[in-house]
Structure 1
Amino acid sequence: MSEFKRIPPEQAQALREQGAVVVDIRDPHAYAAGHIDGAQHLDNHSISDFIRAADLDKPTVVVCYHGNSSQSAAAYLIGQGFSDVYSLDGGFELWRNTYPAETATSSAE
């Protein structure tokens, strides 16, 4: 079984440009206030649908606040059969400081 990899925002951006899936596991209000452009919000309610519909071999970048919780979520995805999973070091906070133009907001559901 493979393991997830921890990557900096620059590497995550390169993967994103190559079509990687970006998933954000922060709470819905934080996600709505700002997230990586194109990121999907995942929570305990949506994760099983995401896994069922996902291409398990497509690169997947997991994002949280500061890069801690995303490691557990990345390990979980590996355990569910994903083969190419990354945890964003520094989380959304570092991403926002590195790529402010690559963030988006949305209305909370």
Structure 2
Amino acid sequence: MSEFKRIAPEQAHALRAQGAVVVDIRDPQTYALNHIAGSTHLDNHSVSEFIRNADLDAPTVVVCYHGNSSQSAAAYLISQGFSDVYSMDGGFELWRTTYPSETAQGTHE
């Protein structure tokens, strides 16, 4: 079984530019206020459907607040059959200071 990889926002940015799926596991209200443009919000209610519909081999970057919770979520996705999963160190907080113009508001992208 493979393991997820921890990456910096710069690496996540490059993967995103190449079409990687970015999933945000922060709470829905915080996600609606600001998130990585093009990301998908995941929570306990939506994760099963996401897994059912996902390309398990597509690069997937997991983002949380500061890069801690995303590690558990990335490990969970690996356990569900995903093969190319990344946890972004520093979380959304570091992303928004690194790429402030590449964030969005609202609940849907």
Alignment: residue pair count: 108
Aligned mates of 1:23, 1:3 — CA distance in 2: 17
Q: CA deviation at 1:58?
A: 0.2
After TM superposition, the runs of 4+ consecutive aligned structure 1 residues lying more than 2 A away are: none
TM-score w.r.t. length of structure 2: 0.97
Contact preservation (8 Å) 2:3, 2:75: yes
Q: How does 1:64-103 map to 2 (within 5 A)?
A: 64-103=64-103
Q: Residue 51 of structure 1 aligns to which amino acid in structure 2? A: I
- Provide the C-alpha distance between the structure 1 equivalents of 2:33 and 2:68, rounded to a whole number of angstroms: 20
Partners of 2:107 and 2:88 in 1: CA distance: 24
Q: Does 1:40 align with 2:51?
A: no
CA distance in 1 between partners of 2:59 and 2:9 (Å): 15
Aligned to 1:19: 19
- Normalising by structure 1, we get a TM-score of 0.97
Cα RMSD (Å): 1.0
Could you tell me which runs of 5 or more consecutive residues in structure 1 were left unpaired when the two chains were aligned.
none
